[in-house]
Structures are given as structure tokens and as C-alpha cells.
Amino acid sequence: MENKNKLIPVRGIYKIKGSKLITYIVLSLWAITTIAPLVWIFINAFKNNDEIIGSAFSLPKAYLDSGTIFQNFETLKRFSENNIFRGFKNSLIMSGSTLLLILILGSMAAFVLARFKFRFTKAVKAYLVASMLIPQFAVIVPNFVIMKNIGDIFEGFQGSYLTVIIPQVAGLMNFAILMLTSFMSGLPKELEEAALIDGCSIPGIFTRITIPLTIPALVSVGIMEFLWSYNDLLTPLVYLSKRNMPVTVLISQVQSLYSTDYGAMMAAIFITVLPVLILYFISQEYVIKGMTAGAVKG
């Protein structure tokens, strides 16, 4: 491609470069609008108030000179009620469990839908597709009542991690089942048939043959489900007790807690966003594919 461009006559180069230049300018402008707010947050997370107000775009200096570059993060730790680091741990525990349960239960259901023949296959699929159209707002009040009722029976249930994990698993699983079903349906059947003839049990076929073959889809679906769970605000906001709140909820309350400490607020965003961005940069292709394939969830 490079060489081809060089062979074009002089006039041609100008013509191509002119329209190309405008294209690149427009694209770069949009790229700046997406990057700039994050850069602003990331730089200012390491500054004190005076510096944030005085020189917003310069690199951090005061904290760097005094050797306390993580000052804002130390501030965040001091609030026991609203400790972002504990919130981060809570987020990981809940989203990790949600993800694991979804992948286990989801792949089991998908295995049946992809490989078994029974009367209700179509009906079950339609049931799953329709359930994806039910918005969170339509179920949040009754689910709160269900959680309260379970809490009346089992002590310690109310406000626990489970109150978020269970509804999230139920609400996000439909996507995983449908994606995994279509992936498993496309897998070659010979291996499974051979295993069946050799006397392998159905659970054995599932765990030793189908699951290992499904790993690429499990990764893609898993990343998506993790992100949705990690980014969810409404479910934890409504069901959890204060101690167990994840970062998304803590960050929504940061304005009232640190209203005068701008650096601390920026640091809070930094902690929330950084892990997700790292995950995104590592697994970009999977994320983009998974997100757009599951577009219905939005």
C-alpha cells in the first residue's frame, strides 16, 4: 500500500492529501474530545486544589516536589464510611461472583438449547429474547420486596453481596445464554458423538468436551458481563447496606463527601476508571465484538 501511493503522479498526491487531511483533522478532533476529559482527570488526580484551579493543564508539581504524589488517594482512604478502596474490593467480589455464576449456569442452559432436542426449545429461546426487553426500572420495586422477604427468613441476607449478585445474574444471564447457544450450535458434533459412544456421561461430555471448545466465547461473553455488572449503579444503590457498596455507588456520593477537595474527587474517578480501561486495552477485540454483538442489552 505504501509503495502504491508513492507511484501516483504529483497532482494526484495533492488531491488525495487534501481530502485525507480534512478526514484526519475531523477524526482527530473527535479523538481529542474523548481523550481530553480523561487526561484532565488523570493529571489532576495528583494535584492539590490550588494547582487544579491555577494550572489545570500542567503536570503535577506540588505533591511531586514534596514526595506525596498519592496525597489525594490517602485522603480517600481516611473516610471509613466511603472508602473507595474497599468499594473497589466489593465491586470485584460481586462482579466476579456474578460473572462466574452467569458463565456456569449460562453455559449449562446453552448446552441444552444447542445440543438437546425437546418440545420447548423454541419457546425457551423466545422466553429468553423477550426477557432482554425488560428494563431494570420495571422490576426494581418488586425485587426489593422479594429481597426483603428473603431477608426476613435468612438473617444477614439483607444488604449482603447476594442481594446484588442474584438479581444481576438473573438480569444479565439471558444475553450469555443466547450468545453461548449460538456459539455451541456452530461447534462440530463429532467429538461429542465419539465420547457418547465411548460411554462418556452427559455431564462428562459437557465439562470435558463442550466447555473447553467454548472458551473463546466464554471469554468474550465474560468480559461483557463483568463490565455490565461492574458498571451497574441502580442495583447496588437500592439493595446494599453501606459497608458493601461498590465503587459505582461510592462515586455517585463523592460530591457531597469531598465537595471541597477537588483532587480527591478526581482520584476517585481515577481508581474507578483505570481497571476498566486496562481490561479494555488488553482485550479490545473481544470487548468490541462482544459489546456490539450484544447490542440489544445496551
- The distance of closest approach from Cβ of residue 194 to other proteins in the complex, given in angstroms and rounded to an integer, is 10
Cβ closer to other proteins: 148 or 243?
A: 148
- The distance of closest approach from Cβ of residue 284 to other proteins in the complex, given in angstroms and rounded to an integer, is 6
Cβ closer to other proteins: 183 or 230?
A: 230
Cβ closer to other proteins: 1 or 10?
A: 1
Cβ closer to other proteins: 70 or 275?
A: 275
- The distance of closest approach from Cβ of residue 261 to other proteins in the complex, given in angstroms and rounded to an integer, is 11
Q: How far apart are the first and last CA of the chain?
A: 37
- The distance of closest approach from Cβ of residue 103 to other proteins in the complex, given in angstroms and rounded to an integer, is 12
Rounded CA-CA distance 161/190 in Å is 42
- The distance of closest approach from Cβ of residue 177 to other proteins in the complex, given in angstroms and rounded to an integer, is 6
Cβ closer to other proteins: 67 or 239?
A: 239
Reported for 201-206, long-range contacts at CB under 8 A and 24+ positions apart, including other chains, are 206/108, 206/111
Reported for 259-264, long-range contacts at CB under 8 A and 24+ positions apart, including other chains, are 260/49, 261/49, 261/72, 261/75, 262/44, 262/49, 262/52, 262/53, 263/44, 263/45, 263/46, 263/47, 263/48, 263/49, 263/52, 263/71, 263/72, 263/75, 264/72, 264/75, 264/76
